[in-house]
């Protein structure tokens, strides 16, 4: 909040309770104050650290060697996240709204697997959910001015949405038809891997997108010829999405970056104007 | 048809027979009325369902387990499509013209394999033809305003046709020459897979388009060097179609979307103006 | 030659011998007259047919079965090309100049292997040279108006030459450095295929260009991490040539197509203006 | 240095010692004089030759055969580079500054491994460091006008830096999340290669960038479906960096090329104006 704002809109009287709540809200949800920035940096490091833990745990050799250390560190991180989750629930005005929001669910899914692991033996499937913590990074960056480039990309993508849908439909259609043709052509040669239409469609996707694993490859002359046609189509068709995005980006102008990191305590809407006192979406008074 | 049109061009007297025909035509071929829209949505779902059936039938394990259910469902879908095909033939003014049109043939090919399966034991080859039903989706979308993005893409592609042909000719030439060179270079090492010039050309396509299956790969030092050159050429040459489409799309402007979904009952031409009373192509009176 | 030209520049007296030479020159080298066009079409078909012959000969199974037919057809094509070659030498004013020109050498290489095959047993190496016949197609298209799109592409490529050289140097540098690093990293695991620096560089090219055969693939954790970095670089770097060509094509305007297919009988220069009487390059009088 | 400059700024009196130093500096660091150009060309050839030596040494079969010749040539190159390194240290005004500069370290690393090889048996790791000699080429080209195309590319890249960072972050996030999902999906089938989350992430990178080695490939139906989605995402997402660079290059104008190759003897800064007498960065007098 700018100094001028403070002069124009003097802080109203509040109970100490509310003041604490507001303070925590400002630290956790916003990035204007030094403490808010410090919190974001610490959170970012913890998230990256916890994601690294989940990855290391999944490597059999490392898990066998350092199992105890990994479990202890995992608990430390989980408890930190639990405290943060509790504070978030405490300081927002409408806890239920946060609880059922996208980030609320991500936050819960980040800590739940470790607690469930006490009751039920921790399985691979459960612990991998914690990788979703990575999505929490977006919340941090969403508050800073880093996203200017990204928002421009998103605008370009949104404006060419119709063209992208048509393009994807075309790709799906071509892949289904080619997959079926190749299934018929190569069905006499089971060793080439075209065992069913879905598998052949999978091959068509692998080929059209120029990935080319080689686990399924045509063995007949006709199959190879058709595959060559598919490849050249794929090689040429890649030009279409590129052309779409290029021309969209050439047209678009850089939008003004959001300079304000305030978040509405009621509806969690961000991107307010610098001198905004009330939320532009729900009209709630913003924290100064 | 707009309400104003109805005021300006009062509906002429017709026999009941003609009225029914016209009504069915409007439902099946157009998408203006609520019934026409409902028909299109139902048809879309049925097509997607029948395509899924064909795919599942091709998977050996699923076909073994649920063969009876799949056959029954296949018959249900075929009978529905047969009724639709009969109605289409009934309501158009010139059935033969529809019969020999692109969609007329697709419609026939969609239902024929199941009926032929009674007389002759149903083979894999026949049943896969039914995947062509997917093309019928285009007819549905052709009537809606979804295709604006697509039509712009098509315009860009058509305008850069000359450049695309030159580009493709160049690709074919380079692939034939490189394939022949690699055949000579690697012919001493049959284990690397360059067994004939066509096979080597197939390898050149796989490599130039950056698909890279790995089923054929050079084993000599010279072969690897030449392959590297091919890859770098392919990596650079991909820029050409992209550049063509990009610059074309940058130039082109979004065309006005077709707002009218009327189809001429005589020549099946679509994209009429909103207030059109007569077909712009053959002069036949359009259904109101 | 336009009718107006004929009025303005009346045909001069020539000996019959010269008239025949000129007539043949017009048919073989130009494409203005109906006979010239017919000749080009026939030549195009023969070239494509002979290239197909060379390809089929290289397939062991086909060669074993139809060897005699292939040899006979090959001789028919060779004799046709020999007659054409002799006529070309006869009708040009300076045969030696044609003999040592690019197309003169290609024409000779197209027929020589078959004749050499009588003296020496026809080897794979000799017969594969005949695939160069494909280059002769370019001469045909060089005379028509087909190349407008191509010439525009060439202009765009030529104008961005400096950028393309810098880009290629960068690619070569990055590939050499990455190849050497991967050689050191993976040298303990000979089974992953990084046996020498050149092989590792080959792998780096395969990976950076997103071809990815899979014959050489990292097996250590560090190797996989470095490979991932290379892939993402390659994935991003592909944008550079595309961007170069796109922006060049956006800038360039469609050049006027060459409307005249006259070829200078002296220096074989093409692309003369419609009303040109003398060659723009060497000043020789053009055939009317 | 231009002739006019010589007239305007007459050469000041210097001791012979200084004159020699200055002469060597001009030859080694600049490319204005014929001798300076000759030196650069010779250096370029020597560097490329020495890099070829390092590569050949790494090939087991070549090293076994020509070991002695390779060692001798390596010593010749190393001694030449040592002399050059000594001269560079001698002629710069502040040797320590050069010693710790980027090129100073590269120069040292280019010769050190050979000398260390006497004391310790030359290992693969040591000798591979010499490939860094390749970076010395950049110094040569940095002085010429070759880099105009490159500098334009760099400007385009720098201007779209924010968008590229956002794009890369998005790629890393998507790859981590998809890798984790695939690990869970394919963990029951260890033969498909998804043995840990890092390995699965490696697979996701290989697939998203359309490299597709095929060493790790999904075997379950769900895995194949998810892989297809990843491929289509990757195929579409490649449009984004291309679009970014294209639109940036379309906007940017060709910058003026640096016409002057003088290098400051104090701070080694290049790109001075044509008539510059003092270094634009540190104010030191430039050699005439």
Q: Do B147 and A166 touch (CB under 8 A)?
A: yes
* Same domain, residue pair A114 and A213: no
Distance CA D214, CA B207 (A): 15
| pLDDT higher than threshold 60 for residue D22 | yes
Closest CA to D277 of D266, D267, D288: D288
**Same domain for C162 and C134?**
no
Residue C130: CATH number of its domain: 1.20.120
Q: How confident is the model at residue B43 (pLDDT cuts 50, 70, 90)?
A: confident
- Subunits with at least 3 CB pairs below 8 A relative to chain C? A, B, D
| Closest Cβ–Cβ partner in B134, B153, B205 for A228 | B205
Q: Are residues D10 and D88 in the same domain?
A: yes
Confidence of residue B102 (pLDDT cuts 50, 70, 90): confident
The arithmetic mean of pLDDT across residues B24-47, rounded, is 82
- Answer yes or no: do D17 and D80 share one domain: yes
CA closest to B168 among chain A residues: A232
DSSP string, A28-80: HH--SSHHHHHHHHHHHHHHHHHHHHHHHHHSHHHHHHHHHHHHHHHHHHHHH
Task: Please write the tens of the pLDDT for every residue from A142-158.
Answer: 545 455 556 666 777 77
| Closest residue to B58, CB basis, from A196, A211, A225 | A196
| Subunits adjacent to chain D (3 or more Cβ pairs under 8 Å) | A, B, C
Interface test with D, best of C170, C228, C232 (most D CBs within 10 A): C228
pLDDT of residue D201: 92
pLDDT at B269: 60
Q: Are residues C127 and C9 in the same domain?
A: yes
pLDDT at B281: 58
First-to-last CA distance in chain C?
A: 6
**CA angle, residues B239, B244, B249, in degrees to nearest 5:** 125
Confidence of residue A22 (pLDDT cuts 50, 70, 90): confident
Q: What is the pLDDT of residue B124?
A: 57
Q: For residue C136, what pLDDT band results from cuts at 50, 70 and 90?
A: confident
The answer to which of A76-85, C160-169, D59-68 has the lowest mean pLDDT is: C160-169
Alpha-carbon span C112 to C126, nearest angstrom: 9
Contact D178, D204 (CB under 8 A): yes
Does B204 map to a domain?
yes
Q: Global pTM?
A: 0.78
Both D36 and D122 in a single domain?
yes
Report residue C282's pLDDT band, with 50, 70 and 90 as the boundaries: low
| D210, D212, D246 member nearest B246 (Cβ) | D246
Of A210, A214, A242, the CB nearest to C214: A214
- Residue-level pLDDT at D264: 65
Report helix angle D136-143 to D102-119, nearest 10: 150
At C235, which CATH number? 1.10.287.70
- DSSP class per residue in C217-228: ---SHHHHHHHH
What mean pLDDT is predicted for residues B196-215?
90
Mean pLDDT of chain B: 77
Q: What is the pLDDT of residues C146-174, one digit of tens each?
A: 555 566 667 777 777 777 777 888 888 88
More confident position, A252 or C48 = C48
pLDDT number for residue A241: 77
Same domain? For B122 and B227 the reply is: no
Calculate how close chain D gets to B259, using CA atoms only, in Å: 30
List pLDDT tens digits, range C18-32. Answer: 788 888 888 887 777
- Dist CA B205 CA A232 (whole Å): 7
Q: Can you give the residue range of the structural domain that contains C165?
A: 157-251
Q: Say if B71 falls within a structural domain.
A: yes
Count of the separate structural domains present in chain B: 2
Q: Is C123 a member of any domain?
A: yes
- Average confidence (pLDDT) over C170-199: 87
* Weakest mean pLDDT among A98-112, C240-254, D177-191: C240-254
What's the mean pLDDT in D216-224? 90
pLDDT of C258 strictly over 50: no
* Residues 6 or more apart whose Cβ sits within 8 Å of residue D150: C163, C166, C170
The reported pLDDT for the residue numbered A124 is 57
The answer to the question of residue B60 being in a domain is yes
Mean of all residue pLDDT scores within chain C: 77
Please report which confidence band the pLDDT of residue D274 belongs to, taking 50, 70 and 90 as the band edges: low
What percent of chain A stands above pLDDT 70?
72
Question: D135: nearest CA in chain C?
Answer: C173
Is the separation of the CB atoms in B219 and B186 below 8 Å? yes
Q: How far apart are CA D258 and CA D235, in angstroms?
A: 39
* Structural domain contains residue D84: yes
**Nearest-angstrom CA–CA distance, A217 and A231:** 12
Out of B164, B207, B239, the one facing C211 most closely (by C-beta) is B207
Q: Which pLDDT score, from 0 to 100, does residue C7 have?
A: 44
Query: pLDDT by residue (tens digit) across B225-244?
Result: 999 999 988 887 777 777 77
Last residue in a domain, options D141, D175, D193: D141
Q: What is the mean pLDDT of residues A266-273?
A: 59
Residue D237 falls inside a structural domain: yes
Alpha carbon of B242: minimum distance to chain A alpha carbons (Å) = 4
- Cβ contacts of B217 on chain A, cutoff 8 Å: none
- Confidence (pLDDT) at C203: 93
Query: What confidence tens digit (pLDDT) does each residue in D164-185 have?
Result: 777 788 888 889 889 988 988 8
Distance between CA atoms of residues D8 and D164, nearest Å: 48
- Chain A interface test: which of C52, C61, C214 (most A C-beta within 10 Å): C214
Q: Is A152 a domain residue?
A: no
Does C213 contact A214 at a Cβ distance shorter than 8 Å?
yes
From chain C, the residues in CB contact with A242 under 8 A are 242
Distance CA C182, CA D80 (A): 28
DSSP 8-class letter at A265: T
B261: closest CA of chain C, how far (Å): 36
Mark whether D51 and D132 lie in a shared domain: yes
The residues with which B278 forms a beta bridge, in sequence order, are B285
A121 pLDDT above the threshold of 70: no
What is the C-alpha separation between A195 and A189, in angstroms, rounded? 9
ipTM for the predicted complex: 0.76
For testing the chain A interface, which of B59, B127, B245, B254 should be mutated: the one with the most A CBs within 10 Å?
B245
Is A223 part of a structural domain of the chain?
Answer: yes
Structure tokens at A218: 């045509």
Banded pLDDT at A1 (limits 50, 70, 90): very low
Query: Is the pLDDT at C103 greater than 50, yes or no?
Result: yes
Residue A7 has pLDDT above 80, yes or no: no
Last residue of a domain, one of A141, A165, A183: A141
Both C104 and C207 in a single domain? Answer: no
What does the pLDDT average to over C68-92? 90
Residue A12's pLDDT band (cuts 50, 70, 90): very low
Residue-wise pLDDT for B107-163, tens only, equals 888 888 888 877 776 565 666 777 777 777 776 765 454 555 566 667 777 777 777
Average pLDDT of chain A to the nearest whole number = 77
- The C-alpha of C285 sits at a distance from chain A's nearest C-alpha, in angstroms, of 45
Among residues B168, B235, A225, D196, which one has the least CA distance to residue C212?
Answer: B235
Distant-in-sequence contacts of D40-43, Cβ < 8 A, 24+ apart: D40/D140, D40/D143, D40/D144, D43/D84, D43/D136, D43/D140
User: Which range among A93-102, B161-170, D255-264 shows the weakest confidence by mean pLDDT?
Assistant: D255-264
Cα C251 to chain centroid distance, Å, stands at 27
Q: Are residues D80 and D203 in the same domain?
A: no
Which of these three, C112, C141, C170, is where a domain ends? C141
User: Poorest-confidence range of A14-23, A245-254, B179-188, D93-102?
Assistant: A245-254
Q: Which of D132, D205, D214 sits opposite C228 (nearest CB)?
A: D205
Give the Cα separation of C261 and C275 in Å (integer): 12
Residue of C nearest to D234 (CA): C235
Is A167 found in the same domain as A117?
no
Query: Is the confidence at residue C255, as pLDDT, over 50?
Result: no
pLDDT of residue D153: 66
Residues D133 and D212 in one domain: no
Total beta-carbon pairs less than 8 A apart between chain A and chain D: 139
Name the band, by pLDDT with cuts 50, 70 and 90, for residue A41: confident
Residue B131: enclosing H or E segment and its boundaries? none
Nearest to C166 by CA among D162, D154, B99: D154
């Amino acid at each position: 909040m700018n100094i001028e704002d403070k002069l124009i809109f003097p802080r109203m009287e509040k109970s100490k309770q509310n003041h604490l709540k507001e303070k925590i809200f400002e630290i956790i949800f916003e990035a204007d104050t030094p403490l808010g920035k410090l919190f974001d940096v610490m959170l970012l490091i913890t998230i990256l650290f916890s994601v690294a833990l989940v990855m290391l745990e999944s490597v059999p050799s490392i898990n066998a060697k350092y199992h105890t250390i990994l479990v202890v560190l995992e608990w430390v991180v989980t408890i930190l996240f639990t405290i943060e989750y509790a504070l978030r629930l405490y300081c927002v005005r409408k806890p239920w709204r946060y609880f059922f929001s996208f980030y609320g669910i991500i936050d819960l899914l980040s800590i739940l697997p470790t607690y469930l692991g006490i009751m039920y033996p921790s399985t691979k499937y459960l612990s991998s959910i914690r990788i979703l913590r990575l999505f929490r990074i977006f919340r941090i960056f969403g508050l800073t001015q880093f996203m200017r480039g990204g928002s421009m990309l998103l605008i370009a993508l949104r404006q060419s949405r119709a063209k992208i849908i048509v393009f994807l439909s075309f790709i799906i259609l071509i892949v289904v038809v080619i997959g079926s043709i190749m299934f018929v052509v190569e069905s006499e040669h089971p060793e080439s891997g075209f065992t069913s239409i879905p598998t052949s469609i999978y091959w068509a996707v692998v080929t059209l997108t120029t990935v080319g694993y080689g686990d399924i490859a045509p063995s007949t002359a006709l199959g190879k010829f058709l595959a060559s046609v598919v490849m050249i189509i794929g090689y040429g068709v890649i030009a279409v999405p590129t052309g779409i995005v290029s021309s969209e980006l050439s047209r678009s102008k850089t939008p003004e970056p959001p300079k304000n990191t305030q978040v509405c305590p009621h509806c969690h809407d961000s991107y307010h104007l610098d001198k905004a006192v009330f939320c532009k979406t729900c009209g709630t008074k913003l924290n100064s």
